[in-house]
Amino acid sequence: MKKLRIGNLIAKIPIIQGGMGVGISMSSLAASVANEGGIGVIASAGIGMMRKTEAGLSLREANIVALREEIKETRRNTDGIIGVNIMTALTDFSDMVRASIEEGIDIIFSGAGLPLSLPKLLDGNRKTKLVPIVSSGRAASLITKRWIDKYNYVPDAFIVEGPMAGGHLGFKKEQLNKKEFSLEIIVKEVIEKLKTFEQKHKKKIPVIAAGGIYEGGDIYKYMELGAAGVQMGTRFVTTEECDADIEFKNAYINCKKDDIVIIDSPVGLPGRAIMNSFLDAVKNGKKQPLKCPFHCIKSCNITSSPYCIALALTNAKNGKLNNGFAFAGSNAFRADKIISVKELFKNLLKEYKSTLT
């Protein structure tokens, strides 16, 4: 595999581990991926929820404390490249970005909205790289133009996330199965849209493919299409180092293809998840909101939401799947056992090489 270059950062293996909240990808997983030559990513969404009652802090304060500690812990366990995924839709987005930069994070990945003002938060810092997550060439072009015109900053890379990803999706429900919105199409679209900016500003803007990528052959496929690397989330869930409870991992191992469904998330986006008793109760109108305990997502409308997604995802992370659910990519049903991150990388490289022969 070719190395992945994002500015002066060089990943030996062109694999970015997706940032999976709430609490699924933390320091253990991120450090392990970075140690294998990929890019490990901490998910910031809901990161302080387990600390709020313990420390007597507000959620906003707990989020910052927890994020700083996770970055420090990851750094203690790897000399590799690490990033943080910070959703633009978070109510404490700016605070999380500033804390990450102060902690010297290598890369900030940001999606769930357009991070149009992200370079402003660098405040002169040029160490941390900024990588938006988009689902169309139009979004990539809009962000790039805004960053250049307003901040004289060319994006360091883009992650292009297709409709087969897990979690919240940047598509309407009716677009998910249409060919024109497939990852193959939008990766090529984004690469084409960025060419003008690259030529004018003499800076390479790597495009990383994401969403439904599961094996080495997929990595080969998208790099042949022009992607500089890939982002993978689902396959890292069933690793020993993944920060989720064993019952969360078992939800992947035990699910069937038909169990992976599209849901309407309280944050106003479709999401891909594993159907279970909790989601079945929601579908049948049995879940009712009492209050919004966190107000963590700007777009979440608690007055019409059947449940608190932050609580549901926290419960799932802790193995309490009767009171929550697991987000998952379209290939989650293919998981059959829990292995180490080291073994996973070995398998991916083997699969990649077999595609060449």
Which of 38-52, 292-306, 339-353 is most confident?
A: 339-353
* DSSP-assigned states of every residue in 135-157: SSHHHHHHHHHHHHHHH----S-
Each residue's pLDDT tens digit, 182-239:
999 999 999 999 999 999 999 999 999 999 999 999 999 999 999 999 999 999 999 9
pLDDT band at 163; cut points 50, 70, 90:
very high
Model pTM above 0.95: no
Largest alpha-carbon pair distance within the chain? 58
Residue 336 pLDDT: 96
The whole-chain average pLDDT of the chain stands at 91
Domains in the chain: ranges and CATH:
4-243+336-356 (3.20.20.70), 246-323 (no CATH)
pLDDT band at 288; cut points 50, 70, 90:
low
d(CA 231, CA 205): 16
Residue 289 pLDDT: 57
Residue 296 has pLDDT above 80, yes or no: no
Residue 47 pLDDT: 87
What's the whole-number mean pLDDT along residues 291-309?
65
Residue 57 has pLDDT above 90, yes or no: no
What's the whole-number mean pLDDT along residues 43-64?
76
Specify the higher pLDDT residue, 222 or 267: 222
Residue 42 pLDDT: 97
Between vectors from CA 240 to CA 75 and to CA 162, what angle results, nearest 5°?
80
Residue 118: name the closest of 141, 91, 86 by CA. 86
Residue 175 has pLDDT above 90, yes or no: no
Q: Are strands 207-210 and 158-161 parallel, antiparallel or unpaired?
A: parallel
pLDDT band at 303; cut points 50, 70, 90:
low
pLDDT band at 259; cut points 50, 70, 90:
very high
| DSSP H stretches of helix in the chain | 27-35, 52-55, 59-77, 93-102, 137-151, 183-201, 216-224, 234-237, 246-254, 277-283, 309-317, 341-356
Residue 112 pLDDT: 82
Which of 112-126, 158-172, 231-245 is most confident?
A: 231-245
